[in-house]
Chains A and B, each alone.
Chain A
Amino acid sequence: MNLLDLLIAIPAIGFIVALLIPRVMENAIRMIALVFSLVAFVVSLGLAIGYQAGQTGQQFVTNFVWIQNPEIHYHVGIDGLSLWLIILSTFLTPIAILISWKYIHKQSKEFFALLLLLEFGLVGVFAAWDLFLFYVFWEIVLVPMYLLIGIWGHDRRIYAAVKFFLFTMAGSVLMLAAIIFLYNQAGTFDYTTILSQLQSGHIALSHTQETFLFLAFFLAFAIKVPLFPLHTWLPDAHVEAPSAGSLMLASVMLKMGTYGLVRFCVPMFPNAAHENASWINILAIIGIVYGALVAMVQPNMKKLVAYSSVSHLGFVVLGIFSFTQMGLDGAVYQMLNHGISTGALFVLVGFMYERRHSLAISDYGGVATVAPWLSTVFLITTLASVGLPTLNNFVGEFLVLQGAAQANFTWTVFAALGVILSACYMLWMYQRVFFGEVGEGLRHHMPDLNLREWACMVPLVVMMVWMGIYTQTFLAPVSEADTKILSQTEMNNKPVAGALLPAGIPGGSLHAH
């Protein structure tokens, strides 16, 4: 049992412990959930410390047979790609618990237990190296999030929760079919074995088979990302979810989709990925621009942030399907950035909702006068989100645009529109909410940040600055993993007629920072 197993076990144990405590002891349940999530976070830091740079294979591996026939392994491990996503999950879970401390009264026992179950699923998704195990965790995540939205959400929560569940389910059943198909071909669910068999030509897929398998995986991931036009569940889910739900959904769960693209979709079916890259990138760019334009006209703060997610995630997809080192580095970095900055936005909007019980921009105005610290933190987060240099998003967006430019300059031109638009909608919202006249209803209902809220926001702001200034801490392991994934993507990339990618793009040289 290594650190990673421990990390997967802790939230699961926490979930069971929280369920066993009598429901009248609300405080004890909260405390226990917080303690378990903090312990999990500390353990996950151990992963970062123990991570050996330069070693591109999996680390912290545990691999044993779970079910004999068909042979299914409990096979977990991390590499540079999953390391930070796991830490992102464990980093945000205590924050999600803290922001719900006062807000959740109804059935608080289930709420905090489900947050831990969610953490369990998320860590598992990013750690699994067995396709079956991956699917198991992928689906487990669905259940707590469905309940979080449906039970503790706002008015239209039931519609949003069911929509969320059905969209994800519809995508993932086809992925299951593809996984079973691969198993029948390869005789194993082990991802690395399947991958090497695909590369060596041991499993010979016809062109049609590869395309369909690619699409089956791609659809599941694209719904999760969400890629335009599959994004319609996202604004509903985000707006209706409680703050903790929005936080986990935006910051980590959407990354399950992009992680799946990078980890499974592209390396396993490189030919199909290259062939389909053009329309995928066009959809990504439409998502970037469309998300930004729709965000601009939203009267509801949460919905605005939700649509901004569609826009930001478009960058990630564009980076992945540019098939350049910089693009991929930027995409993965952007996953983390989006987790931090959009997560922080949802947290802050949640704070404001707790005070004013409204999400409408028009119900605010002049908040900066009554709650200066809240406004300052919000401003930093806003600036991070629009991609101000020295803050985190800048690095990711820059890399993605640079990588996309190497592949096809036209993509960059249109995608860059999204950067400009994001400044428009974010700053315009900031202006309407925080400046201007202080509304009468607001003056006495807008206390500044309290200690618990500071405790949530300080780590987030520190991360925004750290990730914006000293990129290398995070990007070095990511880059190593990306290089490997890119080489896998090209290894059996027979030249395909009509592929839009210019040949011979040199690998990025980002390590030189």
Chain B
Amino acid sequence: MPTNYMPSADDLIRFSPELILTIAGTLLMVLDPLFAKKLPRMFGHISIAAFLAAIVGAFAAQSVMGSSFSNLLIVDGFATFFRVLVLVIGILAVLLSYRYLDREMAETGEYHALLLFCVAGQCLMAASNDLIMIFIGLEISSIATYILAGYLRNDRRNNEAALKYFLLGSFATAFLLYGVAIIYGITGTTKLDEIRTALMQPGISLAGVTIAAALMIVGLGFKISAAPFQMWAPDVYQGAPAPVSVFMATAPKAAAFAVFLRIFMTSFQTIANDWEPLIWISALLSMTIGNFAALTQNNLKRMMAYSAIAHAGYILVAFAAKSDGGTAAVMFYLAAYALMNVGAFAVIIHICGKGERHLRIEDLSGLAQKQPVTAALLTIFLLSLIGVPLTGGFFGKFYIFRAALESNLIWLTVLGLLNSAVAAYYYLRILVVMYMKEPGEVTNTLEPLSPGLGAALVLPAIGTFVLGIIPGAVLNFARASSMLGK
């Protein structure tokens, strides 16, 4: 037991992103009555400032790497990578929200506060070294997301999405918690590194541990919308407000993957051969179900939801490689995926109009003639989602399948790559209507691109090219921090 319960300066720095976000979130709640009428955009500006400050905090924490608070929190390269990733997604989500909330006349401090809390929970998840801390982080993030999904409370689809997500989400979290309980029962600890050591002792009931691992796969598989726990995703992503949908498809997913990796690549690494088949099956199912279901969708948000399931499948392929290279590939792909997904959604938010009336694929007809730059940027994201070279999506896929082949997952690689050829079809449908059809009613009356959405298009586009052409820096960082607590 530590004798001194007062946190040291280093402890505070290591915890600074969460502190900054929480303080800013609380501040926004207080400011809500002051600004709501006069300066509604102020909330967004403050959020962005808070996210930027938290990014600085995350880097400061990285400079004093180590564990804090009785080893509950651990700041390593892995944690920093995911913290920065979710914080950047937070900024992009705010940029996406300006115009959307403006259009719905729903700009409040509450929305942004929830977003900040949500990201705070995800930062905590990324840096947790303890199953209970992970659970707390997950719940902070999830509860905020449940509310955000139903944010426009007069909209029936919002309500449906929130309720569905909440019920199924709580159900799935219970599985996770059950797994945690079993592990605690077997090993007597909830600290990830201690579990790892405990599992290497002779006389441990590995059957029980495997069951616990399987239960955790259920709980976390739900959060990352991996098949067969993906049922909720299309309905919730379609029903939630568009900026929240894209946020849900990227940030909580990235954080859940961080937790997934940290638990399974440290604590459960010794029993990797037992859980690998489960991940293998889930990867294949997610890719196949996601891609084939997306083929027939006409609603852009729903299509992107199925695409999110498929991309979770690709990431699970790298996970199934159960190697450091695989971990690095997961990290890289999540970053690339977040950028291209945000970019694609920025265009969806741009065209959908008040009340999200225009969400059919045909609503993008002739966009290239009316707003060629917007169309060109969306093209970049779609090509990245397909996996065409010089984009981050291509390199991400390349690293994933490279890791998989290194671990001799030949069939999974072949099936995954064929899946990505299938996926090309539905992304091409968007390109087709955009470039090869004449402008329709929606594109003819389209508003000019707002500055916020413009930034949410241009920044991810730059990022997509950086990850596709000069991925060295990000990849080296991911590689260097993929060792985790081994």
Contacts and interface: CB of A to CB of B under 8 A. Distances in A.
B472 A166 contact: no
Nearest to B471: A67
Interface string A156-195: 0110011001100110011011001101100000000000
A69 B479 contact: yes
Most B C-beta atoms less than 10 A away, residue of A70, A137, A169:
A169
Interface size grouping (class) on chain A = 20 to 34
B435 A166 contact: no
A150 B405 contact: no
Given A173-B417, A176-B401, 13 more contacts: A23-B372, A67-B472, A68-B476, A107-B369, A136-B389, A137-B389, A140-B388, A157-B436, A162-B432, A165-B424, A165-B428, A177-B414, A184-B402
A196 to B, nearest CB: 22
Contacts of A139: 388-389, 394
A88 interface: no
Query: Number of contact residues on B: which range applies?
Result: 20 to 34
Interface string B24-51: 0000000000000000000000000000
Nearest to A68: B472
Contacts of B414: 174, 177
Nearest to A65: B472
A162 B421 contact: no
B402 A183 contact: yes
A107 B435 CA distance: 10
B421 A107 contact: no
Contacts of B292: none
Main secondary structure on chain B at its contact with chain A? helix
Nearest to A152: B436
Nearest to A171: B421
B184 interface: no
Quick one: which of B389, B470, B472 has the most chain A CB within 10 A?
B389
Nearest to A209: B410
A108 to B, nearest CB: 12
Nearest to A135: B389
A135 B417 CA distance: 14
B484 interface: no
B432 A69 contact: no
B421 A169 contact: yes
A147 interface: yes
Contacts of A136: 389-390
21 contacts: A23-B372, A67-B470, A69-B472, A107-B369, A110-B372, A136-B390, A140-B388, A142-B388, A147-B431, A150-B431, A150-B435, A161-B436, A162-B432, A165-B424, A169-B421, A173-B418, A173-B421, A177-B405, A177-B417, A184-B402, A184-B406
B398 interface: yes
A344 B401 CA distance: 42
Contacts of A158: 432, 436
Nearest to B408: A184
Contacts of A38: none
B436 A170 contact: no
B328 to A, nearest CB: 10
Contact of B368 (A70, A107, A142, A184): A107
Contacts of A157: 436
Interface in B440-470: 470
B315 to A, nearest CB: 17
Given A135-B389, A177-B405, A180-B405, A170 B432 contact: no
Interface in B44-91: none
A151 interface: yes
B388 A150 contact: no
Question: Which 9 residue pairs across A and B have the least CB separation, nearest first?
Answer: A173-B417, A136-B389, A170-B421, A150-B436, A169-B421, A139-B389, A180-B402, A169-B424, A173-B421
A53 interface: no
A180 B401 contact: yes
A356 to B, nearest CB: 25
Of the listed residues A137, A142, A174, A180, the one surrounded by the most CB atoms of chain B closer than 10 A to its CB is: A180
B420 interface: yes
B413 interface: yes
A184 B435 contact: no
Given A151-B436, A177-B405, A140 B413 contact: no
Interface in A105-147: 107, 110, 135-137, 139-140, 142-143, 146-147
B232 interface: no
B390 A150 contact: no
* Chain A contact residues, majority secondary structure: helix
Contacts of B475: 67, 69
Contacts of B420: 173
A176 B436 contact: no
Contacts of A135: 389
A166 B425 contact: yes
B383 interface: yes
Given A68-B476, A107-B369, A177 B435 contact: no
A137 B424 CA distance: 18
Contacts of B410: 181
A126 B478 CA distance: 33
B417 A70 contact: no
B425 A181 contact: no
Contacts of B435: 147, 150-151
Nearest to B402: A180
Nearest to A183: B402
A177 B406 CA distance: 11
A170 B421 CA distance: 5
Nearest to A167: B421
A166 B295 CA distance: 13
Contacts of A166: 421, 424-425, 428
B385 to A, nearest CB: 13
A150 B432 contact: yes
Contacts of A143: 383, 388
A435 B336 CA distance: 60
Contacts of B471: 67
A338 to B, nearest CB: 27
Interface in B188-216: none
B398 A176 contact: yes
B432 A161 contact: yes
Nearest to B373: A19
Contacts of B401: 176-177, 180
Contacts of B405: 177, 180-181, 184
Contacts of A173: 417-418, 420-421
Contacts of B479: 69
Interface in A17-41: 23
A140 B394 CA distance: 12
A225 to B, nearest CB: 18
A68 B418 CA distance: 28
Contacts of B406: 184
A241 B479 CA distance: 45
B299 to A, nearest CB: 20
Contacts of A150: 431-432, 435-436
Contacts of B389: 135-137, 139-140
A227 B484 CA distance: 49
A176 B431 CA distance: 24
